[in-house]
Amino acid sequence: MEVTARAPGKIILSGEHGVVHGSTAVASSIGLYTSVTIHFPSQNENDGNLKLRLRDLSLEFSWSISHIQECLKESNKADCLKPSAPAAYLSNLQALVEEQHIPEAKFGLASGIKAFLWLYTCIQGYGFPVCLLLDPLSLILAEFLQLVSLFIRYKPATVSVSSELPMSSGLGSSAAYCVALSAAFLSFSSATKLDVGKQGWQEFEDDELKLLNGWAFEGEKIIHGKPSGIDNTASTYGNMIKFKSGNLTPFTSSLPLRMLITNTKVGRNTKALVAGVSERTKRHYEAMACVFSAVDSISTELSEIIKAPAPNDIAITEFEEKIEELMEMNQGLLQCMGVSHASIETVLRTTLKYKLTSKLTGAGGGGCVITLLPTCILELIFFIWIHFNLYHYLPFSLNPPSNGEKLSHFDR
């Protein structure tokens, strides 16, 4: 028995970091995916283990189900239903992660493996929405579930992950990983309504997406510490979104926007960068509040411009210039927040030579930079020809993806 789920990465057009502090941000999913296949062994294949295979890294981690059961026996399994993973449960999972031999150079994987174990044990255990306990009536249910949890047995499984997204580069690899994992696990949870009975890739209804997004957000919290939720929301819902304080407004662009993504290949860690901005905010509260307010205005204006009726051929340059100006202003504010990097500045200077505007995307500190490619195709060809050997390009289009590519999907 097997299911595959895939979820897209994203770019942030405006508002990263500010969105953690309540500003509006604008993001779009991109056509690069993380895929997760969960395979439950037949009786003959069953070796009693839970395995995580990271195909791109040629790594495999394995735990016996009885050992997981033993390690979590002290945990209150109803903890899985709380809006955030409790420390006691997480420290038991940490012990399970630490006994694996993670190569030193790949130490960042530890948080991803912990998120995997959290999502697997919780969704396998219950599969209820994490927000369930916010409803007072369900407190009674929690008592009952605590009793039931004594009888929960996790199923042995092999979970394989592969991704087209560069890891730790600002394209939402952690969110795509959490969305695809949650989708695959939920499709086998008897407690959920996700219907994977039909053949082929599928799309889901709003309440199902909400459930999936809620679980993916829990995974992101384990990897990021304090995520805003924009990355998992862009990956779950697809297309373009405006996002503020947990609220999503989906919209589409009236015109195709072409962006070039340049990967500086400088590794960084979103959790550390987000923490750095929070520290700066504590030191300079008034000044940073003004920065976040400016970010909010820029993102709001950007979303209005993008969704406005398509301009005619003459007005198209004006349309692109407005977007470029807002991207430039946003990049300036990201520099104020301290999340740019010498490698990012090099890309900015290089693209500027060809009158092209760029900004960092995602958490910054290295990672990826986006450049708006105006309709002038000659300039575009020239730019790619000049710099093809210097950077790794991941081209994509902001046209709304076709139906079949909208969201995380399931395939039985």
Ligand X SMILES: Nc1ncnc2c1ncn2[C@@H]1O[C@H](COP(=O)(O)OP(=O)(O)OP(=O)(O)O)[C@@H](O)[C@H]1O
Three-class SS state of 34: strand
Q: Which stretch binds ligand MEV (CB under 6 A): 56-64, 145-153, 228-236, 346-354?
A: 228-236
Rg (CA), the chain: 22
User: Using CB under 6 A as the criterion, what x/- string covers residues 233-272 for binding ligand X?
Assistant: ------------------------------------xx--
Out of 230, 288, 306, 326, point to the residue binding ligand MEV (CB under 6 A): 230
> Which entry of ligand MEV, Mg ion, ligand X, none binds 19, CB below 5 to 8 A by partner kind?
ligand MEV
Burial level of 171, CB count in 10 A (0-12/13-18/19+)?
buried
Cα-based distances in Å from 266 to 227, 263, 285: 21, 8, 29
- Nearest residue to Mg ion, using CB? 174
> Of 174 and 253, which has the nearer Cβ to Mg ion?
174
* Residue range at the interface with ligand MEV (CB under 6 A); choices 92-100, 140-148, 223-231, 396-404: 223-231
Out of 4, 29, 111, 174, the residue judged to bind Mg ion by CB under 5 A: 174
Closest CA to 281 of 291, 271, 270: 291
Binding segment (CB under 6 A) for ligand X, from list 61-69, 159-167, 312-320, 397-405: 159-167
Verify binding: residue 111, Mg ion, rule CB under 5 A.
Answer: no
Residues 354-383 that bind ligand MEV (CB under 6 A): 362-363
Q: What does the DSSP 8-state code read for residue 166?
A: P
Cα 232 to Cα 100, 176, 248, 339: the distances in Å are 27, 7, 11, 21
Q: How far is CA 276 from CA 56, 232, 339, in A?
A: 30, 21, 8
The reply on whether position 208 binds ligand MEV by CB under 6 A is: no
- In terms of CB distance, is 239 or 270 closer to Mg ion? 270
Total count of residues recorded for the chain? 412
Site for Mg ion in 226-285 (CB under 5 A): 270
x/- letters, 159..178, toward ligand MEV (CB under 6 A)? -------------x------
- Is 411 in the active site? no
Residues 108-127 that bind ligand X (CB under 6 A): 108-109, 111-112
Least spacing, CB of residue 316 vs ligand X, in Å: 30
Determine what percent of the chain falls in helix, strand and coil, rounding each to the nearest 5: 45, 20, 35
Taking each helix axis from N to C end, the angle separating 109-125 and 87-98, rounded to the nearest 10 degrees, works out to 120
Nearer to ligand MEV, 179 or 363 (CB): 363
Residue among 121 and 228 whose Cβ is closer to ligand MEV: 228
Active-site residue (options: 231, 296, 313, 411): 231
Residue 92 has a CB neighbour count (10 Å cut-off) of 18
- Residue 20: name its binding partner from ligand MEV, Mg ion, ligand X, none (Cβ under 5 to 8 Å by kind): ligand MEV
Distance from C-alpha of 72 to C-alpha of 93, rounded to nearest angstrom? 8
Element (H, E) at 90: helix 87-98
List Cα–Cα distances, 191 to 81, 126, 314, 374, in angstroms.
13, 6, 55, 49
Residues that bind Mg ion (CB under 5 A): 174, 270
Residues that bind ligand MEV (CB under 6 A): 12, 16-17, 19-20, 172, 224, 227-228, 230-231, 270, 274, 362-363
Task: List residues with catalytic annotation.
Answer: 231
